[in-house]
A and B are shown apart, each in its own frame.
Chain A
Amino acid sequence: MTRSEFMKSAFAFGAAVAAARWLGASMAEASADVVRPPGALGEDDFLSRCIRCQRCADACPNRCITAFSEASGKQFSLVPGPGQEGTPVIFPRRQACNLCASEGAAETLRCTDACPTGALRVVPKEREAIQASVVMGHAVVDENLCYSYTGSSCGVCVRACPFERDALRSGFFERPEVTADRCVGCGLCERSCVRYPQAITVVPSRERQR
Chain B
Amino acid sequence: MSERRRRIPIWPFRRIVQISVVALLIALPVISRYRHYLSARELDDLMERWDGSVQGETLAFTDAAVRVGIADGEGGVETRRPRQAVLERTRQVGGSAWSANLFGLSLTDPLAGAESAVASRALPWVLVVGLIVPLLVTLILGRVFCGWVCPGGLLFDIGEKIRWGLRRGLEIRPLEVELWSATKYVLLGVGLLVAAVSGATVLRGIYPPAILGREAHAFVEALFDRAESGRPGFAVVGISAGTVLLLVILAVEVLVAPRFFCKTICPGGALYSLLGRARLLRVRRREADCTDCTLCDNRCPRGMLPMTDVTGSECDACGVCVDVCPTQALVFRPGWSGDKIVGPSAPTAPDPAEAFPATGGGVAAAAGPALGTIAVATALVTAVFAAAPRPALAHHIMGVPHYSYDENYPQAPVLKLVDTVGDWQLQLTGYPGNPVPGEPTELHVYVVRELDRAVYDLPVSVTIRQQHLGGSRETIFGPADARRSENVFKFYPTYPEEGHYEVTIGFEDGAEGISTLTFPLVVGEPGSPWVPVALFGGGLVLLLLVVRAIKIKQARRARAAARREGGTS
Contact = CB atoms under 8 A, between A and B. Distances in A.
Interface in A74-98: 74-77, 82-83, 86, 91, 93-95, 98
Interface stretch (A1-9, A174-182, A188-196, A202-210): A188-196
Contact of B400 (A71, A76, A101): A101
Interface in A119-159: 119, 122, 127, 142-145, 150, 156, 159
A21 B488 contact: no
Kindly name the residue among A77, A86, A160 whose own CB sees the greatest number of chain B CB atoms within 10 A.
Answer: A86
Tell me the dominant secondary structure on chain B's binding face.
mixed
Given A24-B199, A53-B98, A116-B99, A62 B405 contact: yes
A53 B109 CA distance: 10
Given A44-B199, A48-B120, A53-B99, A114 B400 contact: no
Contacts of A55: 94-96, 99-101
Contacts of A66: 221
Given A116-B99, A159-B401, A77 B126 contact: no
A196 B429 contact: yes
Contact of B193 (A20, A50, A67, A159): A20
Kindly name the residue among A48, A61, A95 whose own CB sees the greatest number of chain B CB atoms within 10 A.
Answer: A48
B213 A54 contact: yes
A52 B446 CA distance: 35
Interface residues of B, number: 90
B116 to A, nearest CB: 5
Contact of A58 (B95, B115, B240, B431): B95
B217 A156 contact: no
B92 to A, nearest CB: 11
Q: How large is the interface on A (under 10, 10 to 19, 20 to 34, 35 or more residues)?
A: 35 or more
Interface in B367-412: 390, 393-402, 405, 408-410, 412
Tell me the dominant secondary structure on chain A's binding face.
loop
Instruction: Report the 10 A-B pairs with minimum CB-CB distance, sorted nearest first.
Output: A24-B198, A104-B393, A58-B94, A118-B124, A53-B99, A48-B119, A101-B400, A48-B120, A20-B197, A58-B32
B199 A93 contact: no
Given A58-B32, A66-B221, A191 B194 contact: no
Interface of B: 28-29, 31-33, 35-36, 39-40, 88, 91, 93-96, 98-101, 106, 108-109, 112-113, 115-116, 119-120, 122, 124-127, 130, 193-195, 197-201, 204, 210, 213-214, 217-218, 221-222, 238, 240, 390, 393-402, 405, 408-410, 412-419, 427-429, 431, 433, 444, 446, 448, 453, 455, 486-488, 519, 522
Contacts of B393: 104-105
A128 to B, nearest CB: 12
B108 A51 contact: yes
Contact of A51 (B32, B101, B112, B396): B112
B122 A49 contact: yes
B108 A150 contact: no
B95 A54 contact: yes
B14 to A, nearest CB: 24
A174 B416 CA distance: 25
Contacts of A183: none
17 contacts: A48-B199, A48-B201, A49-B120, A58-B93, A67-B214, A69-B218, A83-B201, A102-B39, A114-B95, A116-B108, A117-B108, A119-B116, A145-B488, A150-B487, A191-B409, A194-B412, A198-B429
Interface string A7-49: 0000000001100110111010000000000000000110111
A160 B417 contact: no
A17 B197 contact: yes
Kindly name the residue among A54, A70, A110, A142 whose own CB sees the greatest number of chain B CB atoms within 10 A.
Answer: A54
B471 to A, nearest CB: 21
A57 interface: yes
Given A61-B36, A116-B126, A196-B444, 7 more contacts: A51-B201, A54-B217, A71-B238, A75-B415, A93-B416, A114-B94, A193-B412
Given A44-B199, A127-B398, A196-B431, A102 B40 contact: yes
A210 B304 CA distance: 56
Given A118-B122, A164-B399, A191-B408, A77 B419 contact: yes
A197 B397 contact: no
A200 interface: no
